Amino acid sequence: MQKEEKWLVGLSGGPDSMALLGMCLKQGIPAAAAHVNYHHRLQAEEEEVYVRQFCKEHGIDLYVRNEPFVYEGNFEAQARQWRYDFFVSIVKQHHYKGVLVAHHMDDLIETFIMQEEKNLVPEHYGLAEEICYKGILVRRPLLHHTKAQLVSWCEENSIHYYVDATNLSDAYTRNRIRHSIVEQLSDSDRMLYLKEIERRNAEKQERECRVNAIAENGPVLLSLYRSMMEEDRIALLRAFVEKDGHHHSLAFMKEVDRIIMEHDDFIIPFSSMQLVQEDGYLRYEKQSEPYAHVYASLDQMQHVSAEWYVIENGSPGVNALSLHDDDFPIVIRNARKGDVITMRFGNKKVHRFFIDRHIPKWRRKQWPVIENAGGKVIFVAGLGCDANHYTVKPDVNVLSLYHYTKD
């Protein structure tokens, strides 16, 4: 850490953050401090007074956020965002190098155990020494120190600190793990945990490098996917579907993997995206939205190129259609459940047509049909028009984009 770089230290008033700030002072590392008072504990006001006094005595710039903190749901999660957003605003305003936070070895091991209990595959096992939060560098320089070591350091250097009473209760999962497991660990047990965390992260990094190289090339051969080990398949799925930063549980990803392994035709939705199989490839694409395009006259239908269909000059064939004046306004829309068309050989369910022609499930949601002014389906792309709209000199040809691109 370069001494000419000024950092912002997250300062709660507890032994961890007081030790961190004290070490910066002792090592001559330029630092400011930021304190957040949530007003949720009886001693919160006393702690704020203390950190103000400490920083004043040592010539440390201090920034305090103490407006009322209102939240809904998970206090810890929202308090963390409230705190870190405050850090970000200060760093950007004063052009500091980044933020130093006082997470230590006990926090690292506790986090890993929680990840294991929840059967998670996180971005990083345990805690990373550096992360980027909203464009700001966040560093954890104390991960090689235990909680007990930091408490001892404060006492040896006559630095007062406060103990958060909520940390003494086993009502929270992290506290339970801390008291029943982490605080009972021997030095050798701690080293075993640290080595396992290091191994997991190295293995995860190596696997991600491999599968990212595959994912970056676009659609993946389904046969290649199915030939991979489960851990690699899950990592590849994450490379596809977690680009937006949204993390999915391991159980959910395993269910997605099961569907891909057992089915040849599927649609697996992810927010506005979807995983589908097409022509032997696994694709991650935007979900198709329902559409309904209205045309008031034949003139409006000349040389139209829409997202899921195209309209061309009429010529005989399965995609040909002639229209009558009383058909207008017509609607070209995606196929819907229950659509039926009356062909020359009788009624045909559109869903049956999809099955007979092996149209992939996700393409069915985009498939164009034409409905006339009376609300009757008179045309299905790839199947043709109904008995009342067939002529040898058709007005237009309407092709689904799927058939258009394949042909």
Q: Has residue 82 been placed in a domain?
A: yes
Q: What is the extent of the structural domain holding 241? A: 208-286
Give mean pLDDT, residues 321-340: 95
Q: What is the pLDDT of residue 347?
A: 94
State percent of the chain over pLDDT 70.
95
Q: 105 with 53, same domain?
A: yes
Look at residues 251, 266, 286 and tell me which one is the last residue of a structural domain: 286
Q: 379 with 328, same domain?
A: yes
Q: What is the pLDDT of residue 76?
A: 84
- Per-residue H/E/C for 314-336: CCCCCCEECCCHHHCCEEEEECC
Q: 339 with 371, same domain?
A: yes
Q: What is the pLDDT of residue 286?
A: 87
DSSP E strand boundaries for 224-380: 267-270, 273-278, 281-286, 292-295, 309-313, 320-321, 330-334, 340-343, 346-349, 368-371, 377-380
Q: What is the pLDDT of residue 353?
A: 95
Q: Has residue 202 been placed in a domain?
A: no
Residue reference for tokens 């294991």: 116
Nearest in space to 36 (alpha carbons), one of 105, 97, 87, 94: 87
What are the tokens at 251? 């159980």
Q: 169 with 44, same domain?
A: yes
The enclosing domain of 167 has a CATH number of 3.40.50.620
Q: Indicate whether 258 pLDDT > 90.
A: yes
The string of pLDDT tens digits covering residues 310-319 is 999 999 999 9
Q: What is the pLDDT of residue 168?
A: 61
Residue reference for tokens 């008072």: 37
Q: 317 with 218, same domain?
A: no
Residue reference for tokens 């709209």: 389
Q: What is the pLDDT of residue 123?
A: 84
Q: 267 with 365, same domain?
A: no
Q: Is 312 helix (H, G, I), strand (E, B) or coil?
A: strand
The string of pLDDT tens digits covering residues 92-113 is 999 999 999 999 999 999 999 9
The span from the CA of 206 to the CA of 211, in Å, is 9
Q: 325 with 254, same domain?
A: no
Q: What is the pLDDT of residue 170?
A: 61
The string of pLDDT tens digits covering residues 55-93 is 999 999 999 999 988 888 888 889 899 999 999 999 999
> Higher pLDDT residue, 25 or 401?
25
Min mean pLDDT across 95-104, 136-145, 281-290, 333-342 is at 281-290
Q: Has residue 327 been placed in a domain?
A: yes
Q: What is the pLDDT of residue 53?
A: 97
Give mean pLDDT, residues 259-284: 91
Q: 358 with 397, same domain?
A: yes
Q: pLDDT band for 407, please (50, 70, 90 cuts).
A: very low
Q: What is the mean pLDDT of the chain?
A: 91
The string of pLDDT tens digits covering residues 149-194 is 999 999 999 999 998 766 666 666 777 888 888 889 999 999 999 9
Q: 134 with 171, same domain?
A: yes
For residue 331, list its beta bridge partners: 294, 371
Q: 216 with 126, same domain?
A: no
Q: What is the pLDDT of residue 145?
A: 96
Q: What is the pLDDT of residue 167?
A: 67
**How many domains are there within the chain?**
3
Q: pLDDT band for 4, please (50, 70, 90 cuts).
A: low
